[in-house]
A and B are shown apart, each in its own frame.
Chain A
């Protein structure tokens, strides 16, 4: 059926032609914050701005946003005693609303004992195994993602404030190196999409700046909350690379570096994305 092929080709040409043009026009409507001097972007824009108004509406309504189911679940777990020490999160930290305020916005943080940066998931599990003497939760488990979301939610609206100096600087450089390295059969780096082509329309979707301020994020595609390192894995899988392991040093360095790329953006956890 040659006619159909011609039609398809014409459609592809039309889409390609369109894709290049409206990017600038779309940019105009996207609100961001001015980046600090020496930053890669002029304007730092949250992934929220790249989503449809319907998806944004789901995030904006605290009742409709399904991410809050996780926040409520974890609020109960926060008070629950587990492990042989007879402690709950609350035994040491008290009310999460006070003690966890701003904690999630500053992760990953340097750990003096381990001599490496630690992210929120790792910190929660360290608390469980060291202080509560309870089983650490598996990565991607609902329990760990719920608690991560709950703790990060306590920083809702606060600016992302990762520290990248001092002992963190070699990790920052490592993250930067990963960000600009092309991986996989498609030979793409993070920067190929999220730095050079953000705002453009690709695969029926707008490429965002790849900001992390909304993680863990409720993905409509997965119908559940997705932690950051799972998203990193997904990106690497999509470019047909062999992903690094979640919570590996590579992803931790990348988390730190990408956090810096979104420095100052308000924490949106639990955000809603497609």
Chain B
């Protein structure tokens, strides 16, 4: 949980360019369907929501379901028109939010 999410996007882009963003976060994604050695159900613990915003505006968001495997990898694209910061947030079932941010600049 304390792991830093892994994010890859270019440091620079031309104005209006569509860039690819890759994210990988460390998480168990326990589905809630499994039982432990004593036969007791293991409580569900997944990331149920991912969102990304650029300079405060939403860029991409999705809901995650229990069938998604551990360490979810999410890849999407975004158009960049100005310098700014991408903010990423992964929301856990228990309410904790893993956050990260990445800056991008417009090529002069």
Residues of A within 8 A of B (CB): 61, 63-64, 66, 68-69, 72-73, 220, 223-224
CA distance A220 to B71 in the complex (A): 11
CA distance A64 to B6 in the complex (A): 9
| B94 at interface, CB cutoff 8 A | no
B24 touches A220 (CB 8 A): no
With both beta carbons as reference points, the residue of chain B lying nearest to A65 in the complex is identified as B24
Residues of B within 8 A of A220 (CB): 69
Contact among A72, A223, A224 with B6 in the assembled complex (CB-CB below 8 Å)? A72
Query: Interface residues of A: mostly helix, strand, loop or mixed?
Result: loop
Residues of B within 8 A of A (CB): 3-4, 6, 8, 22, 24, 26, 29, 69-71, 73, 75
B69 touches A64 (CB 8 A): no
User: Given A63-B22, A69-B3, A69-B24, A224 and B8 touching (CB < 8 A)?
Assistant: no
User: Given A63-B22, A63-B24, A68 and B6 touching (CB < 8 A)?
Assistant: yes
Residues of B within 8 A of A224 (CB): 70
A69 touches B22 (CB 8 A): no
Total A-B Cβ pairs within 8 A: 32
Residues of A within 8 A of B24 (CB): 63-64, 66, 68-69
B4 touches A223 (CB 8 A): no
Residues of A within 8 A of B3 (CB): 69, 72-73
CA distance A68 to B26 in the complex (A): 10
A223 touches B22 (CB 8 A): no
Residues of A within 8 A of B26 (CB): 66, 69, 73
Residues of B within 8 A of A223 (CB): 29, 69-71
A64 touches B70 (CB 8 A): no
Contact among A64, A72, A73 with B73 in the assembled complex (CB-CB below 8 Å)? A64
With both beta carbons as reference points, the residue of chain A lying nearest to B7 in the complex is identified as A63
User: Given A72-B6, A73-B3, A66 and B22 touching (CB < 8 A)?
Assistant: no
Smallest CB separation, A45 vs chain B (Å): 27
User: Given A63-B22, A64-B24, A69 and B69 touching (CB < 8 A)?
Assistant: no
Smallest CB separation, A42 vs chain B (Å): 37
Contact among B8, B69, B70 with A63 in the assembled complex (CB-CB below 8 Å)? B8
With both beta carbons as reference points, the residue of chain B lying nearest to A69 in the complex is identified as B26
CA distance A66 to B72 in the complex (A): 9
A66 touches B4 (CB 8 A): no
CA distance A69 to B5 in the complex (A): 8
With both beta carbons as reference points, the residue of chain B lying nearest to A70 in the complex is identified as B26
Residues of A within 8 A of B6 (CB): 63, 68-69, 72
With both beta carbons as reference points, the residue of chain B lying nearest to A68 in the complex is identified as B6
Which of A61, A66, A224 has most chain B Cβ within 10 Å? A66
Residues of A within 8 A of B8 (CB): 63
26 residue pairs from A and B, CB less than 8 Å apart = A61-B22, A63-B6, A63-B8, A64-B22, A64-B24, A64-B75, A66-B24, A66-B70, A66-B71, A66-B73, A68-B6, A68-B24, A69-B3, A69-B6, A69-B24, A69-B71, A72-B3, A72-B4, A72-B6, A73-B3, A73-B26, A220-B69, A223-B29, A223-B69, A223-B70, A224-B70
